[in-house]
Amino acid sequence: MPRSDTADGTLKQALKEALVEVLDEERDLLQDIIEEALQEMALMEALREVEAHERRFGRQPGFMQVQGEA
């Protein structure tokens, strides 16, 4: 049996309110998750830059070795 537009609207509104409440109550957790994701993205970008540099110029002696390679 299909739901009415009113029931769908009520459900959507209830979900929105619940989400806002959870995000408000767990603000620190959400901030930590976003911060961790941004750090991971920055690390991945740095590794891509190192790999691109190594492909272009080869490994340079004295540079930090990535992924435990010595």
Two tokens at 65?
Answer: 């070795």
| Residue 62 DSSP code | T
Alpha carbon distance 34, 5 (integer Å): 35
Using one digit for the tens of pLDDT, what is the confidence trace for 2-57? 667 788 899 999 999 999 999 899 999 999 999 999 999 999 999 999 999 998 98
Residue 68's pLDDT is 58
In a domain, 3, yes or no: no
Residue 31's pLDDT is 93
Alpha carbon distance 35, 28 (integer Å): 10
Domain residue limits at 43: 27-57
pTM of the model: 0.54
In a domain, 21, yes or no: no
Number of domains in the chain: 1
In a domain, 47, yes or no: yes
